[in-house]
Amino acid sequence: MAVNEKDGKLVIKAVQAAVDHYGASQDELIPILNEVNREVGYLPSEAFDEISRLLRVPRSRLFSVASFYRMLSTKPRGKHVIQFCESAPCHVVGGREVWQAIKDFLKIEEDETTSDGKWTLVTTSCLGLCSVGPVMVVDDDIYGNVDPAQVPTILEKYR
Amino acid sequence: MKFYRSHVLVCVDPECLNKGAHDVMDALQDELVAQGLIEEVQVLETSRIGGCDQGPELMVYPEGVHYSNLTPDDMAFLVEEHFLKGRVAQKFVTEEKVFTDEELSAPTAKEIRVVLRNCGKIDPENIEDYIAEDGYQALGKVLFESTPEQVIDEVLKSGLRGRGGAGFPTGKKWQFARASQGSPKYVICNADEGDPGAFMNRRVLEGDPHSVIEGMIIAAYAIGSSQGYIYCRAEYPIAVKTLRIAIEQARNMGLLGKNILGSEFSFNLEVRMGAGAFVCGEETALMASIEGQRGEPRPRPPFPAVKGLFAKPSNINNVETYANIPQIIFRGAEWYAGMGTEKSKGTKTFALAGDVKHTGLIEIPFGLTLREIVYDVGGGIKDDKKFKAIQTGGPMGGCLPEGYLDLPVDYEALTQAGSMMGSGGLVIMDEETCMVDIARFFMDFTQDESCGKCTPCRVGTRRILEILERICAGKGQPDDLDTLDYLCAQIKENSLCGLGQGAPTPVISTLKHFRDEYEAHIVEKRCPSKVCKALIRYEIIDGVCTGCTVCARNCPVNAISGERRTTHVIDPDVCIRCGICMQVCNFNAIVIN
């Protein structure tokens, strides 16, 4: 899915800012991809074109690296991204029930985006906050000790 | 740097500010000036002292006295009592200091805090706090009183072993890197703590980053390196931020960069963030990631000490390994080697998680038994349920049942028992855990994180996962267990890196210690712990059920039928095992079979 023209300019700007920040070197590829992903929300095709041009790296290599790492997305994401910790320590203290509650509330499965483009639901690796599990991250906000009843209240805050 | 005889920390959290914390602080400073004490007593702002409803409040150090419910008018009395007469002003003292740190409580009796000593006590964004706690003394000693060889000797004598999981003697690793030909040499810190349930490294990076930085500078001096990287996972954004601030402050003080502390030695340090890949905790995959590539492991030999980052000699150690170094140098190798067991010296941090009363971080000398860890340090099983198993070493570690509780914890003992030390995650499981579900759960994780490069891991873990999922779904077949035994052995022996080699371990250990549970799932289609949804049935007990219809009305799939005042019945083919009926029943008439 190609971004429209206005967004295209945004993407180019984000790429150029990232390359200016880190330098046009192949070693800096992952920091650059991270920053663009953060700015734009994901890594569209236009981003790969521009990075390929500036770093003189083939697109296939960019795609190979981007698709390897979980926190980089080549698919568009919703306005808000929910990351849910799927690891054992959260799982054994009630994480399974919270996960089900989120899926039921939003009516989507893992890696899906709601039809109104508002929410994307993904799992994340252990965030190291196991003492306060189950843990849920919405954009940059971290929620600990989550129970299923709290899910609607937490998500309502992002209307 | 100015030295004060006393520090006063005033809490300026929003709750305290609302109650006039700044007025109290101003009054305190005015009083100190009036009494001629302002050059001796420093007043600072801080946060998270205590229970929020007791503000305004402050702490006085070095005594550690906590005064609360203060007003500006109280300051004259407080200053006179505490600072002039040297007495605790009792009327402002709360009974008990409430600890609000959910991850790191005050040390229990059996703990010795070396790596965690500063966490929660110093401001990680202020290098002077670290220096006040003997920070960078070791570096000074090393740069001006020791040769690189002497430093390596000291580390060898201490018996320090890599804390990332493999437990390779650190001194030896440094020796290899020093001896290797090639330039430049690199010092790398593995801060990609990916084991679910392990957050010790995270806490050290966020709470005491300089201990790691100092350790890395010392390592660089020892092996002859001038460039270092800390590879920190992207899931730890606060750690990344704290590290960057700490590095900046160290640089400003001449502790990093050219001619450190005026010596001939120069060293630069940079933070690199990961992007979400568990396998990047494996050292060769980590280096590939720094080079801007897919995080795929490489065969070893050659080892990183010979040919590592950018094909140059590199020393790569875990966060905790580096964090031990300043203390070892400062207090001496003999002190460190005096703790622990014969082959595992020193202390280790662990993260207790799961069904235990006190979850969180602990640090103990090697040699304590699992029983002591679970019951003495951890406080026992939550809700006083029965202990079933403990998993050590993360998702590639084994599950050990009750019979192993008296095992003393050290590298050799855990490996012999069929598990491993790993990074130090300990997941404790009670009687309501299904061990087949746990094995499936961990295999799901490792399968997802497999990089895909080698066939045994890429294909093998998927096949194992499929079998385990079938078993949990009630579709197990008689020869499944033999197939699992065979697959596990093959994958363990033939995988390229530690992820694949370790992925079968949870399955192997649960097959060994809990084989009867697997058999119940396969032969009887029964889950003894009543966890696997496909194998449990919610049933209403005839004779207890009053026919009140509450359950039927609440069932989201209309699986319950029955007339008013007659025993209701749940249709197992419609039931989705959500458990709502059991929750809403007021008569405890619903059980799981």
Q: Domain tally for chain B?
A: 5
In terms of CA atoms, which chain A residue is nearest residue B441? A88
State yes or no: pLDDT of A27 exceeds 70: yes
Domain final position from B271, B305, B336: B336
Residues B149, B29 share a domain: no
| B386-409 confidence digits (pLDDT tens) | 999 999 988 889 999 999 999 999
For residue A42, count other CB atoms closer than 10 A to its CB.
18
Distance from CA of B398 to the nearest CA of A (A): 14
Distance from CA of A42 to the nearest CA of B (A): 13
The residue-averaged pLDDT of A106-126 equals 90
Q: Is residue B296 part of a domain?
A: yes
| B426-470 confidence digits (pLDDT tens) | 989 999 899 999 999 899 989 988 989 999 999 999 999 999 999
Residues B422, B447 share a domain: no
Q: What is the CATH number of domain A80-156?
A: 3.40.30.10
Per-residue confidence (pLDDT) for residue A3, from 0 to 100: 53
Q: Is residue B385 part of a domain?
A: yes
Using pLDDT thresholds of 50, 70 and 90, give the confidence band for residue B57: confident
Per-residue confidence (pLDDT) for residue A1, from 0 to 100: 44
List the CATH number of the domain containing B453.
1.20.1440.230
Among residues 229-258 of chain B, which lie with CB inside 8 Å of chain A? Answer: 234-237
In terms of CA atoms, which chain B residue is nearest residue A126? B196
- pTM given for the model: 0.81
CB pairs under 8 A between A and B: 116
| A39-83 confidence digits (pLDDT tens) | 888 999 999 999 999 999 999 999 999 999 988 999 889 889 999
B102–A126 C-beta distance less than 8 A? no
Residue B444: CA count within 13 A, CB half-sphere: 17
Q: Is residue B108 part of a domain?
A: no
Per-residue confidence (pLDDT) for residue B55, from 0 to 100: 74
Looking at per-residue confidence, does B39 or B220 come out higher? Answer: B220
| A126-153 confidence digits (pLDDT tens) | 888 877 878 999 988 888 889 888 899 8
Least confident range from B61-65, B181-185, B348-352: namely B61-65
Residues B578, B458 share a domain: no
List the CATH number of the domain containing B579.
3.30.70.20
The residue-averaged pLDDT of B134-144 equals 95
Among residues 278-307 of chain B, which lie with CB inside 8 Å of chain A? Answer: 278, 289-295
d(CA B93, CA B464): 60
Query: How far is the CA of B149 from the CAs of B22, B181, B377, in angstroms?
Result: 53, 16, 39
Per-residue confidence (pLDDT) for residue A5, from 0 to 100: 58
Minimal Cβ distance to B292: which of A29, A70, A90 = A29
State yes or no: pLDDT of B188 exceeds 50: yes
Which of A20-24, A93-97, B76-80, B146-150 ranks highest by mean pLDDT? B146-150
| B293-302 confidence digits (pLDDT tens) | 999 999 989 9
Strand partners, B46: B11
State yes or no: pLDDT of A4 exceeds 70: no
State yes or no: pLDDT of B541 exceeds 50: yes
Instruction: At A152, list the tokens.
Output: 């609607």
Per-residue confidence (pLDDT) for residue B264, from 0 to 100: 94
In degrees and rounded to multiples of 5, residue B580 shows phi and psi of: -65, -40
Per-residue confidence (pLDDT) for residue A20, from 0 to 100: 94
Residues B248, B139 share a domain: yes
d(CA A20, CA A28): 11
Interface test with A, best of B271, B294, B391, B580 (most A CBs within 10 A): B294
Q: Is residue B579 part of a domain?
A: yes
List the CATH number of the domain containing B198.
3.40.50.11540
Per-residue confidence (pLDDT) for residue A30, from 0 to 100: 92
How far from chain centre, in Å, is Cα B368?
Answer: 18
B441–A93 C-beta distance less than 8 A? no
Per-residue confidence (pLDDT) for residue B96, from 0 to 100: 57
State yes or no: pLDDT of B99 exceeds 70: no
Q: Is residue B341 part of a domain?
A: no
Q: Is residue B322 part of a domain?
A: yes
B466 CB-near residues (< 8 Å, 6+ apart): none
Q: Write down the H helix ranges in B182-224.
A: 200-207, 209-223
Question: In terms of residue numbers, what domain contains B54?
Answer: 6-92
Residues B451, B398 share a domain: no
Residues B188, B256 share a domain: yes
- Which residue, among B154, B177, B184, B153, has the nearest Cα to B283 in the 3D structure? B177
Q: Is residue B120 part of a domain?
A: no
Q: What is the DSSP letter of A70?
A: T
Using pLDDT thresholds of 50, 70 and 90, give the confidence band for residue B3: confident
State yes or no: pLDDT of B237 exceeds 50: yes
State yes or no: pLDDT of B152 exceeds 90: yes
Residues B357, B291 share a domain: no
Peptide bond into B302 cis (omega under 30): yes
Residues B442, B425 share a domain: no
**Using a CB-CB distance cutoff of 8 angstroms, which residues of chain B are in contact with residue A28?**
292
List the CATH number of the domain containing B68.
3.40.30.10
In terms of CA atoms, which chain A residue is nearest residue B273? A31
